[in-house]
A = this chain, B = another copy of it.
């Protein structure tokens, strides 16, 4: 695909419309506010290739899972986020012809997303064989101020004729979901409706959704009182209007839609709330409403923005990543989490993966710590189900699901569901990371240790003791590198397990001192004993770690070095990606190609434990063999590349990570955006180029920004303090905006900084 995204630091723009890339464009221009959201579909409809989708967070349906032969641990049902009421739609017919960019002739197409306020604007000029031209301009936003509001402003200006227009703003719940296995594709049925409100419910899960709409019509700036004919069909409410079009005059249709679902409301309330909300904004203009939302966006940007001077492409990319990631998870609702596609597509069924703990949690942790805490509580609230899941597999402790919407397992491929169990350790790591960044020790006592202990218990049961060597090994797993299934002693899994068991042992001891009542309470609840804690320590000590001294690398799994050794750049040309569509699965499995950061991910997570040489040697070995087939790969490699001084490589990997969707590197943005990897871009900058770390309780930086960057600045929140960081090629500057005095490290030195003070350190960014 050619590169079609343009724009600037604050805007994402596409000039010209490319039917072959219509799905890509729809994904790129997705909008959401955490409560609801959808793809960049066209209000007037589009009969070409389209995924017309609008989702409500947490509103799902139990689909039939897809698998070959059933195995224990597979889900009996598969919860999936579903397409819900189409609220953007306005049917348009000009001079008797339906407006549809798949059929209508048009020119000067442009679509722009303004990341300052979330306004999506689309303009084009349509024409017919009589050379009648109409300028069209469409604006849409989903408010982050009024979480239940979506607004559309649809303007039409006949440039050289007088004519006639029919239009019908509507709400329609007869919408298909694409990514479903069962026979049903439409999950809604009508509850009731009136002229302005439609209430529908999901068939099995009984979620209610009320949508209300209000339509205002202007000619130039004059409000017009045109009567409409109500169009009332099953699961559909429309208002049909007809009027004249006057040359040079702009007809503007404003559509305001209020949406309430029953996730946090009673079923009887949704319609009431929906109507009330619409009523409360009846006197506000489109621009008023947009400005309320814009003000909140400004507040948000003040906290989360990363400024990059001297590199528009990089600046645009990180803002796009943050713009899309933030409204995917606002952190307000503990029952919600982050799905790999957010609100931009059905793929991954809206479910939560280990992406949350390893890739998303750090971003939220350092910008919005309360949101990060809710990500942890999400897992705490699913502990009971994770214990049940382990029990089903005849294992002790807790095994968290590979993917979930409600705590139960939604995945059904044995090599992943039953074997990609490093996900369990990621949950402990996220707790550890939260604690070391916030010093919120009460979290361990009140929630964390129950999770940590049950995961440690799982691992203590899942390992295998080898008597002859007096070691513990871990058989039959799939590491983060999903290209090698059912392997033994995946280094990442083993290392994480070793760490988890020891951390759990330590936390048990710590908790006994910190809060003996809570300690006893938890021990009683789960039958934990000191003997069991000690056993975790012993297993941790004896857990096997596979290192090849000759190659000076950690070996990804037993037998990895026996595989056919393949270098990505020798075997794969551009048109062979994704490689699973070029090579058969067995061939990939018996080669050295790895899907994504595996050993390297471990080196990143436990950065303080490994030497510079270890990082360099492993990077040198694994990077040429890595396909970066997962969106979660390039960002991690970029961080390690920064650390070992491979600055060009780090920069290229950052671009790959941050422009993954804008440049469609993986040829799959059409399905939706890679939301969970967007925080990876943030990490590539903050952990990578700025070299931010917390080791042994000390916040430190090892700055080294790309040569083309004149200045990098961002804010982070650590240990209840806000820091502003500014890095240039020669200087590292830090200001403590709020919180108590603290010691920080820059490169190898330590500095004390206090509130309102600005520290400037000379650095040589080229070392």
Contacts and interface: CB of A to CB of B under 8 A. Distances in A.
A586 B473 contact: no
A272 interface: no
Nearest to A74: B585
A419 interface: yes
Contacts of A392: 584
Nearest to A485: B486
A476 B584 contact: no
B586 A476 contact: yes
A413 B584 contact: no
A109 interface: no
B418 A475 contact: no
Contact of A580 (B72, B473, B583): B72
A610 interface: no
A412 interface: yes
A583 B563 CA distance: 30
Interface string A163-183: 000000000000000000001
A413 B69 contact: yes
Contacts of A418: 584-586
A394 B583 CA distance: 7
A227 interface: no
A652 B415 CA distance: 36
Contact of A68 (B67, B72, B393, B559): B67
A562 B414 CA distance: 21
Nearest to A589: B476
A584 B412 CA distance: 13
B486 A72 contact: no
Interface string A551-585: 00000001100111000000000000000111111
A488 interface: yes
A205 interface: no
Contacts of A183: 183
A558 B561 CA distance: 14
A412 B67 CA distance: 10
A473 B559 CA distance: 12
Interface string A90-126: 0000000000000000000000000000000000000
A586 B394 contact: no
Contact of A584 (B71, B415, B464, B486): B71
A587 B72 CA distance: 10
B67 A581 contact: no
A465 B69 CA distance: 34
A300 interface: no
A66 interface: yes
Given A66-B68, A68-B412, A414-B585, A563 B475 contact: yes
A136 to B, nearest CB: 40
A392 B587 CA distance: 12
A488 B585 contact: no
Contacts of A393: 584, 586-587
Interface string A578-613: 001111111101100000000000000000000000
Contacts of A525: none
Given A559-B558, A559-B559, A589-B486, A581 B476 contact: no
Q: Among A66, A395, A476, A581, find the residue whose CB has the most chain B CB atoms closer than 10 A.
A: A476
Given A394-B583, A476-B589, A587-B393, A559 B488 contact: yes
Q: How many copies does the complex hold?
A: 2
A71 B564 CA distance: 20
A73 interface: yes
Nearest to A558: B559
Interface string A52-92: 00000000000000111101110000000000000000000
A425 to B, nearest CB: 16
A413 to B, nearest CB: 4
Contacts of A752: none
A464 B582 CA distance: 20
A466 interface: yes
Contacts of A394: 583-584, 587
Contacts of A589: 475-476, 486
Contacts of A558: 559
Contact of A475 (B415, B488, B562): B562
A585 B412 contact: no
A415 B476 CA distance: 14
Interface string A382-418: 0000000000111100000000000000001111001
A437 to B, nearest CB: 34
Nearest to A183: B183
A589 B73 CA distance: 14
B69 A67 contact: no
A473 to B, nearest CB: 7
Given A587-B393, A587-B394, A488 B72 contact: no
Interface string A482-523: 000110100000000000000000000000000000000000
A388 B473 CA distance: 41
Given A393-B586, A476-B589, 14 more contacts: A66-B67, A66-B68, A71-B580, A71-B585, A72-B580, A72-B585, A73-B584, A183-B183, A394-B583, A415-B486, A466-B562, A475-B562, A475-B590, A486-B586
Interface of A: 66-69, 71-73, 183, 392-395, 412-415, 418-419, 464, 466, 473, 475-476, 485-486, 488, 558-559, 562-564, 580-587, 589-590
In the complex, the 7 A-B pairs of residues with the closest C-beta atoms, listed nearest first: A475-B590, A476-B590, A418-B586, A393-B584, A68-B413, A414-B585, A71-B585
24 contacts: A68-B68, A68-B412, A68-B413, A69-B413, A72-B584, A73-B585, A393-B586, A394-B584, A395-B584, A414-B586, A415-B486, A418-B584, A419-B586, A464-B563, A464-B564, A473-B562, A476-B586, A476-B589, A476-B590, A485-B485, A488-B562, A488-B590, A558-B559, A559-B559
